Structure 1
Amino acid sequence: MANKKQDYANDDITMLKGADRVRKRPAVIFGSDGIDGCQHSVFEILSNSIDEAREGHGDKIIVTKYDDNSIEVQDFGRGCPVDYNQREKRYNWELVYCELYAGGKFDNNSGENYSFALGLNGLGACATQYSSEYMDVEVFRDGYKYDLHFEKGENKGGLKKEETKQKKTGTRTHWKPDLDVFTDINIDKSFFEDVMKKQAVVNPGVTFLLRVQRNDGTFEEQTFFYENGIADYVKEIAGEDTLTNVQYFTGDRRGRDRADKDEYKVKLGVSFVFSNKVQTLEYFHNSSFLSHGGSPDDAVRSAFTSQINAYLKNNNKYNKNEKPINFQDVADCLVLVSSSFSTQTSYANQTKKAITNKFIKECMTEFLKHNLEVYFIENPDEALKIAEQVLVNKRSRESAETSRLNIKKKLQGTIDLSNQVQKFVDCRSKDLSRRELYIVEGDSALGSVKLARDAEFQAVIPVRGKILNCLKADYDKIFKNEIITDLIKVLGCGVEVNTGKKKDLSAFNLDNLRWNKVVICTDADVDGFQIRTLILTMLYRLTPTLIEKGYVYIAESPLFEITTKDKTYFAYDEPEKDKILKMIGDKSFTIQRSKGLGENEADMMSLTTMNPETRRLIKVNPDDVEMTQWMFNMLLGDDLAGRKEFITNNGADYLEMADIS
């Protein structure tokens, strides 16, 4: 027996140094070691160029994606300082590209360099350099051209400096993310398009040029430019047919997050329009897209709900005893983009998905309330339209909620299911970690499964015929179908009704699921496959969380029984049949297609389909829900022409599986 090390000694504590601080733990800096982290490393370099442009140094940024997955960012700012730093007694290029938490944006209240900077932590350029297979930096400033070259976090050759007659200043960074650091570096073009469009939106007057290298070496180019920033963007999102005109509020504030903290500056910009066709909420801070919102989102929710609610009350728009609106009622008809800046920013983490500044939330709430109050007074016709639309949204939501609760009440009874649901056979155990529900095909299979099951923890419900195609039917028709409502009652967890705008889980509670496993058990023939698919489709539309959380299984039924003098073998597909025949060699045997579930002996059913020790279950756990939805819609939806084309193009791949004689 091998000896195990028992001591945890002083020498066991180690410290990552140099590039290993990022290369061995990229997720700490970039949030992930996958494609998301790699994308964030690109944004770190882009951020530095954006900060320069926002300060008025250069009005164009060029990003190039090469076909070898290397990337180049070029700006026309002042050029990154790379020469010798007398105060720090080191070269600036070492501080910028080889030291975490080094940079020129820490003392932002002074306004000497960057009044509102996206990159505040001094991490980006260094962390991206550390995580690169190589990085080349070219800087033009002070009448000189500077060159740096790095490989896997190490500088090669030091700083090269030569005089230049080029008048334009700026920085060009060309690097390739390292596959030794990231699991994937093949960033899709759509990422660059999305990021550069968003940056053009929040940096009005700055041109962003994207160049993507084609296979033949030429480049495809796209330009992103918004002269009026977020106001133009809101117009673009909402289109022509809106309830109101686009509004744009802007203002400046000074304050602090706590009495003992330093005061800082905040610049606020909010543009919005009301629409009964489009809904969008997007927040930016210091140019960073806040996908998780934080302080600006809190402010928008509070201010818009408060001011519209006040208008409804003051103008007697509520019915007697009617509950007030909530923000969802507002958001359902609101297109809003916020772009704020501050000289001090508290990000939720380095990936800058949300900010948490208390003062920004407070001042933005006050700022929005005041401007909305003035807007309503000066534009009474638009204020009335907004109020009426929000009330329509509220009352529609409440009506839908009542319908969902009625469905829930119908589907989630408390009486004994054995008496409530026809032919359902429950198990004895109340232990949810053991209970299994077998959904079987027809009454004949019910008989075999009842005999073969372990009645302690295995329950059975038969499906009588082919159930409704839940992708084609509307909810009224679905919930009038007795087979489906029986299945939902037995599951116990309710349904996830899709309103068309978002997934609404109000009628669904996973804690009420009565089973640890939901096993679909059908014959291994064409009819069985179709019934299985229809059951899966029902679960996918009404209870998709059961699939996503791994509660749904398919019981594999054997295709062949191969019997020798000593033993019976079961083969679940053709390759397994061939393997068994090869294994038994010259022995005498008989082979036959396996019978349907209803014709099987109880012992055989237990051995092949129900006994946890010998059965084969396939967990239904779609890795890509969008692809699953696309396939369900293609094969079971209303697009007949698309389905015909799909079968024409792909049908030959499945001919061997077809039951054609």
Structure 2
Amino acid sequence: MAKKQQEYGNDSIRQLKGADRVRKRPAVIFGSDGVEGCAHSIFEIISNSIDEARDGYGNRINVTLFPDHVVEVEDFGRGIPVDYNKAEQRWNWDLVFCELYAGGKYAEGGGNYDFSLGLNGLGLCATQYASEWMTADIYRDGFHYHLDFQKGENVGGLQKEEYKGRRTGSVIRWKPDTEVFTDIAVPPETFQDMLRRQAVVNDGVTLVFTDKSGKDTQKYEYLYEHGIADYANEIVGDEALTPVHFCSGAAVGRDRADQPDYQVRMNVAFAFSNTVQTLEYYHNSSWLEHGGSPDRAVRSAFVSQINAWLKSKGLYKKNESAITFSDVQDCLVLVSSSFSTRTSYENQTKKAITNKFVAQAMTEFLKHQLEVYFIEHPDEAEKACKQVLINKQSREHAEKARITIKKTMTQQMDLANRVQKFVDCRTKDASRRELYIVEGDSAMGAVKQSRDSEFQAIMPIRGKILNCLKADYARIFKSDIITDLIRVMGCGVELGGSHNKDLASFNLDNLRFNKVVICTDADVDGYQIRTLVLTMLYRLTPTLINKGYVYIAESPLYEINTKNKTYFAYTEPEKADILRRIEGEKYTIQRSKGLGENDPEMMWLTTMSPESRRLIKVLPTDAERTAQVFDLLLGDNLQGRKEHIAEHGAEYLDDLDVS
């Protein structure tokens, strides 16, 4: 039976009123109805206190997170006006807590908030509407005012009593409503990041976060006396290429000819560094996660001025291409804090601004500042600009390497045809497929006969492969063994260095196997081949190790046969334990055969069967230590290797495979 269509007529139109304007559509105001939206609702209350502090009223803001996700924001500003408003013929508390688009920011001429975090008058009311409950205690004009709200509705009106203390300010406490947000568990780390960022762009204002949500109370205090300059110094540390340079300026203009003029203030702190790279933009104290106008200005100004300096010094070769911003960004630490009396955000969550004049004013300001800076600090200019040129040349070199690798790796033929001796499995389900990397043709034959051809593929390697820690990319990718193995795995390679994200052809989604198993003999040669394969994976595809795709098939050292059963011992202690357990029985014991000598049934039991094999997952538990050991044993550190052998060689005399 066909479903009856709902009639759409004049009576179908409905308007959301009161708290429902937020409670039924929180994502419209806060950007999402999840934990990110809940965090933004909290920031709306904090931002009101910051506006007061930046305007000179109070220099401390306390934010507390209580159990059950209750939040409190306390400031020492002038206190929210909540008494009767004759001009509007309404109570101010009703306007600011229960009316969207109402507040002091709409006063004639901009009121007290020329450079405000929020200009829409939405925050306090919207957060109140999105709360399970909210209380407000306000101190001003010699009175203490108290308000209670439940699910967006006032309870009990305004309570007012004389207050003889000297303090002024507001204390807002509330619980975000789970009927509005799908998740209200805003992590303490989000509060810390939010308040630290606000301390950065509000010089001299102390922001305190007290976390009472856990077992023990934690307290964090943030203060930057010199704002973004102190913050930039904190980022670059003691090893910067150039000291932090701070500059500030102002401009007046408009976005379009038919629009009014507005003011812009600009503060920028920057330095050049070989160890860290940072770009952070703030506007009216709000962190612009996606940048917008300031980001466009920085990109244009820095590329223009550094390019001009390099040309003036004749450092470009004939027909050489100019630098790009990625070359600058690789060595730039920059923090920008701008303000404007007219702001166009991409949306209410304030992640980017779109003001045309802000971009224009900042571009001209930065070009001028950089020109003067380069003239007054020629040594610093030379260090910075030459480093950008080095970054460019490194990027171009890596790009050429990437293109060469891509050509090498890309073939139109079928995988089985283009990689000699590779034996594929039948299933195309990558979550089940296993790749066994085995040494030599004899081992290949044994593994091939004993495997489960449904999900186990085999890739033989002939002899010892190239030591990838001692070879450059050009030599590495001339090795057929290595390029064949990379083709078979299918995921490409990761190039090292700062260009890794842009230039590597690696894509984990293209990996054709769920397990990459290194399968070698349990002897000195086998261990060396295993180490060289691991070294190759460590250098070219470290993500496979980090994500747990790489395994080692552990081969038994001994085969112990009794009348009724065969035992395999993988270590000397295991051999001793087995011999204790079969004490009194007749047995024979022999060193386990190499992979190529095992019969298929034995190979299946010891190496291939998921039920009985032993696989060692290669874990990235200590990547830095692994890198050091690989470099020591397989890299160019000859002196370090000699010293290591002299100090520890005696410990391994019993394991030497010599007669």
TM-score, structure 2 as length reference: 0.72
Match for 1:301: what amino acid?
Answer: R
Q: 1:498 to 1:128 in 2, by over 3 A?
A: farther
Q: How does 1:615-630 map to 2 (within 5 A)?
A: none
- Inter-partner Cα distance in structure 2 for 1:42 and 1:417: 55
Q: How does 1:27-426 map to 2 (within 5 A)?
A: 27-106=27-106, 110-213=109-212, 219-414=217-412, 417-424=415-422
- Inter-partner Cα distance in structure 1 for 2:516 and 2:268: 56
- Alignment-derived partner of residue 653 in structure 1: none
Following TM superposition, by how much is the alpha carbon of 1:506 offset from its aligned partner in structure 2, in angstroms? 3.1
Q: 1:8 to 1:424 in 2, by over 3 A?
A: farther
Q: 1:346 to 1:433 in 2, by over 3 A?
A: farther
- Inter-partner Cα distance in structure 1 for 2:307 and 2:76: 48
Question: Which segments of 5 or more consecutive residues in structure 2 lack a partner in the other structure?
Answer: 439-443, 523-529, 552-597, 603-608, 611-616, 629-659
Contact 1:290/1:355 (<8 A) preserved: yes
- Inter-partner Cα distance in structure 2 for 1:214 and 1:492: 47
Deviations 1:223-246 (A, max 9, x none): 222221111111121122322232
Question: Which segments of 5 or more consecutive residues in structure 1 lack a partner in the other structure?
Answer: 454-458, 555-595, 601-607, 610-628, 642-661
Following TM superposition, by how much is the alpha carbon of 1:415 offset from its aligned partner in structure 2, in angstroms? 5.0
Match for 1:316: what amino acid?
Answer: G
Give secondary structure in 2 for the equivalent of 1:234: helix
Following TM superposition, by how much is the alpha carbon of 1:497 offset from its aligned partner in structure 2, in angstroms? 2.8
Match for 2:98: what amino acid?
Answer: C
Moved more, 346-355 or 31-40: 31-40
Contact 2:76/2:167 (<8 A) preserved: yes
- Alignment-derived partner of residue 506 in structure 1: 503
Q: 1:211 to 1:408 in 2, by over 3 A?
A: same
Match for 2:63: what amino acid?
Answer: V
Contact 1:427/1:435 (<8 A) preserved: no
Contact 2:69/2:213 (<8 A) preserved: no
- Inter-partner Cα distance in structure 1 for 2:300 and 2:463: 50
Give secondary structure in 1 for the equivalent of 2:104: coil
- Inter-partner Cα distance in structure 2 for 1:541 and 1:184: 40
- Inter-partner Cα distance in structure 1 for 2:467 and 2:138: 61
- Inter-partner Cα distance in structure 1 for 2:453 and 2:203: 73
Contact 2:23/2:129 (<8 A) preserved: yes
Following TM superposition, by how much is the alpha carbon of 1:488 offset from its aligned partner in structure 2, in angstroms? 3.1
Following TM superposition, by how much is the alpha carbon of 1:503 offset from its aligned partner in structure 2, in angstroms? 4.0
Q: 1:540 to 1:350 in 2, by over 3 A?
A: farther
- Alignment-derived partner of residue 620 in structure 2: 633
Following TM superposition, by how much is the alpha carbon of 1:339 offset from its aligned partner in structure 2, in angstroms? 0.2
Following TM superposition, by how much is the alpha carbon of 1:92 offset from its aligned partner in structure 2, in angstroms? 2.0
Give secondary structure in 1 for the equivalent of 2:365: helix
Contact 2:421/2:460 (<8 A) preserved: no
Contact 2:248/2:267 (<8 A) preserved: yes
Give secondary structure in 2 for the equivalent of 1:634: coil
- Inter-partner Cα distance in structure 2 for 1:13 and 1:491: 58
Give secondary structure in 2 for the equivalent of 1:398: helix
Match for 2:159: what amino acid?
Answer: K
Give secondary structure in 2 for the equivalent of 1:330: helix
Aligned residues: 553
Q: 1:422 to 1:116 in 2, by over 3 A?
A: same
- Alignment-derived partner of residue 570 in structure 1: none
Following TM superposition, by how much is the alpha carbon of 1:471 offset from its aligned partner in structure 2, in angstroms? 12
* Larger Rg belongs to: 2
Q: 1:21 to 1:270 in 2, by over 3 A?
A: same
Contact 2:294/2:358 (<8 A) preserved: yes
- Inter-partner Cα distance in structure 2 for 1:20 and 1:475: 64
RMSD: 4.5
Q: 1:463 to 1:157 in 2, by over 3 A?
A: farther
Give secondary structure in 2 for the equivalent of 1:365: helix
Following TM superposition, by how much is the alpha carbon of 1:216 offset from its aligned partner in structure 2, in angstroms? 6.5
Following TM superposition, by how much is the alpha carbon of 1:204 offset from its aligned partner in structure 2, in angstroms? 0.8
Match for 1:46: what amino acid?
Answer: I
Following TM superposition, by how much is the alpha carbon of 1:86 offset from its aligned partner in structure 2, in angstroms? 2.7
Following TM superposition, by how much is the alpha carbon of 1:382 offset from its aligned partner in structure 2, in angstroms? 1.6
Contact 1:441/1:465 (<8 A) preserved: no
TM-score, structure 1 as length reference: 0.72
Match for 1:160: what amino acid?
Answer: Q
- Inter-partner Cα distance in structure 2 for 1:196 and 1:544: 34
- Inter-partner Cα distance in structure 2 for 1:464 and 1:99: 73
Q: 1:521 to 1:364 in 2, by over 3 A?
A: closer
Give secondary structure in 2 for the equivalent of 1:504: helix
Following TM superposition, by how much is the alpha carbon of 1:277 offset from its aligned partner in structure 2, in angstroms? 2.2
Contact 1:472/1:636 (<8 A) preserved: no
Give secondary structure in 2 for the equivalent of 1:297: helix
Q: 1:461 to 1:49 in 2, by over 3 A?
A: same
- Inter-partner Cα distance in structure 2 for 1:433 and 1:215: 44
Following TM superposition, by how much is the alpha carbon of 1:274 offset from its aligned partner in structure 2, in angstroms? 1.6
Following TM superposition, by how much is the alpha carbon of 1:137 offset from its aligned partner in structure 2, in angstroms? 0.7
- Inter-partner Cα distance in structure 1 for 2:378 and 2:624: 46
Give secondary structure in 1 for the equivalent of 2:69: coil
Q: How does 1:391-540 map to 2 (within 5 A)?
A: 391-414=389-412, 417-424=415-422, 439=435, 443=444, 462=459, 485-490=483-488, 494-499=492-497, 501=498, 503-508=500-505, 520=515
- Inter-partner Cα distance in structure 2 for 1:598 and 1:205: 76
Contact 2:431/2:513 (<8 A) preserved: no
Q: 1:88 to 1:484 in 2, by over 3 A?
A: farther
Give secondary structure in 2 for the equivalent of 1:68: helix
Deviations 1:268-327 (A, max 9, x none): 111111222222111100001111111101100110110010011011121222211111
